[in-house]
């Protein structure tokens, strides 16, 4: 098979930020054979490279001098079953939300709270996606990934992925070493553990007059998300730009002394999670607009592109916010979005 790399490819429509950027080489892949061939090609071996899924968690700050490999690996199949669960393998290029709908329609429980998160299945383990009281790690069984240096497919089970809050081994120790080709989820077929612990879900179910069920929770989450988060089709964005900081009790108490209303949530290891959006809003950034970029009007955690923003401008805004929050609260925020 001869590989066809496109040159100077415009990536604007491949990312939810919708920012114009070019990659010097671009190639989509839709099978593991194709991917194996790509990583052995001269173009790949002599350039920098990156995998792009749905482009909903990346910010290109400049043109990418290298190869962008665009994931189109599809396929959904059952690979195991027990008394009350099923193992489903999803191709990493499947759209995450379509996979959630597939699970809900088939009566498989576990990912209904993760409805409407943009992006591909393959990127979900990268940062252990989470929302409304559920994280990928709660249902994750294993994944298969192509090791770039050897061309071999390796399997990683849950414990080997070091999942944490928006973290995994693939974002840290194994960064850029593997391309995830499929993800296996363990989903319930009965005795579903419906999670409505987030007040907003219960309130929405009540408002809609619906009983908790897989499909009703999914519907409630979709409704809530549509009302709270800007749709990238209308305003370019990448969801939460920063992670919520986790601090020691001492630091929290000091802040609570100054700001009694500060939102706080228990975190593992007796630490406290704070809301990055609250800190950014309190620092006065919510709704600020500069030319075509800014901080969203209703969600201070979301940086936006109003049309023709440049990646470097959005990055520089994020740096200003970081420094301001540090000077006002003594907390160093961490970016959640992958800066390229
Ligand atoms: C409106 C909005 C709301 C969001 N809400 C949430 C939320 O509630 N919870 C949450 O956790 N996230 C949320 N996100 C962030 C985003 O949806 C997730 O991080 C998602 O998993 C990214 O998927 P993607 O395919 O778009 O990844 P991309 O942006 O394409 O890639 C992200 C990173 O993963 C790497 N990567 C992608 N695919 C692979 C692969 N197959 N193998 C190896 N590396 C790979 C890329 O190189 C890049 O570094 C939101 C984003 C938006 C725009």
Q: Angle 96-105/214-228 helices, nearest 10 degrees?
A: 150
Domains 6-71 and 236-339 agree in fold: no
Cβ neighbours of 217 (radius 10 Å): 27
Burial 135-144 (b: 16+ CB within 10 A, else e): bbbbbbbbbb
Distance of CA 319 to the CA centre of its chain: 21
Residue among 49, 57, 241 whose CB has most ligand 1 atoms within 8 A, to mutate: 57
Q: How far is the CA of 206 from the centre of ligand 1 (A)?
A: 31
Tell which CATH classification among 3.90.550.10, 3.30.43.10, 3.30.70.100, 3.40.50.1820 matches the domain 6-71: 3.30.43.10
**Ligand 1 pocket check for 124: Cβ under 6 Å:** yes
Specify burial of residue 225 (Cβ count, 10 A radius: 0-12, 13-18, 19+). middle
Could you state, in order of their start, the residue ranges of all structural domains in the chain?
Answer: 6-71, 76-228, 236-339
Whether domain 76-228 has CATH 3.30.465.10: yes
Q: Is any atom of ligand 1 closer than 6 Å to the C-beta of 69?
A: no
What is the chain's pLDDT, residue by residue, as a tens digit (340 residues)? 678 999 999 999 999 999 999 999 999 999 999 999 999 999 999 999 999 999 999 999 999 999 999 999 999 999 999 999 999 999 999 999 999 999 999 999 999 999 999 999 999 999 999 999 999 999 999 999 999 999 999 999 999 999 999 999 999 999 999 999 999 999 999 999 999 988 799 999 999 999 999 999 999 999 999 999 999 999 999 999 999 999 999 999 999 999 999 999 999 899 999 999 999 999 999 999 999 999 999 999 999 999 999 999 999 999 999 999 999 999 999 999 999 9
pTM (2 decimals)?
Answer: 0.96
Catalytic residue among 24, 240, 318, 335: 240
Alpha helices in the chain (DSSP H): 32-40, 42-45, 96-105, 199-208, 214-228, 249-258, 276-282, 311-329
Are 300 and 321 in contact by the 8 Å Cβ rule? The answer is: no
Residue indicated by tokens 């986790």: 246
Decide: 179 in ligand 1 pocket, CB within 6 A.
yes
Residues present in the chain in total? 340
Is the CATH number 3.90.78.10 carried by domain 236-339? yes
């Amino acid at each position: 098979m001869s590989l066809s790399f496109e040159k100077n490819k415009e990536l604007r429509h491949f990312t939810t930020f919708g920012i114009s950027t070019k990659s010097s080489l671009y190639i989509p892949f839709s099978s593991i054979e194709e991917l194996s061939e790509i990583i052995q090609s001269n173009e790949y071996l002599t350039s920098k490279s990156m995998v792009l899924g749905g482009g909903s968690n990346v910010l290109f700050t400049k043109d990418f001098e290298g190869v962008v490999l665009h994931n189109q690996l599809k396929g959904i199949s059952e690979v195991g079953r027990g008394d009350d669960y099923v193992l489903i393998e999803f191709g990493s290029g499947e759209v995450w939300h379509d996979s959630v709908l597939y699970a809900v329609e088939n009566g498989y429980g576990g990912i209904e709270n993760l409805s409407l998160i943009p992006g591909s299945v393959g990127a979900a383990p990268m940062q252990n996606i989470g929302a409304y009281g559920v994280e990928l790690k709660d249902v994750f069984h294993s994944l298969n990934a192509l090791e770039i240096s050897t061309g071999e497919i390796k399997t990683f089970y849950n414990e080997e992925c070091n999942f944490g809050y928006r973290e995994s081994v693939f974002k840290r120790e194994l960064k850029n070493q593997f391309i995830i080709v499929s993800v296996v989820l363990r989903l319930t077929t009965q005795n579903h553990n419906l999670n409505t612990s987030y007040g907003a879900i219960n309130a929405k179910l009540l408002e809609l007059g619906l009983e908790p069920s897989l499909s009703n929770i999914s519907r409630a989450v979709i409704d809530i998300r549509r009302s709270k988060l800007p749709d990238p089709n209308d305003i370019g964005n990448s969801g939460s730009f920063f992670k919520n900081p986790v601090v020691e009790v001492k630091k929290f108490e000091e802040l609570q002394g100054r700001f009694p209303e500060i939102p706080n949530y228990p975190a593992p290891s007796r630490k406290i999670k704070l809301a990055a959006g609250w800190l950014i809003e309190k620092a006065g950034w919510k709704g600020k607009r500069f030319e075509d970029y800014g901080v969203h009007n209703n969600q201070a955690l979301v940086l936006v592109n109003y049309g023709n923003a440049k990646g470097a401008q959005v990055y520089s805004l994020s740096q200003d916010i970081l420094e301001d929050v540090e000077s006002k609260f003594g907390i160093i925020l961490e970016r959640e979005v992958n800066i390229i």
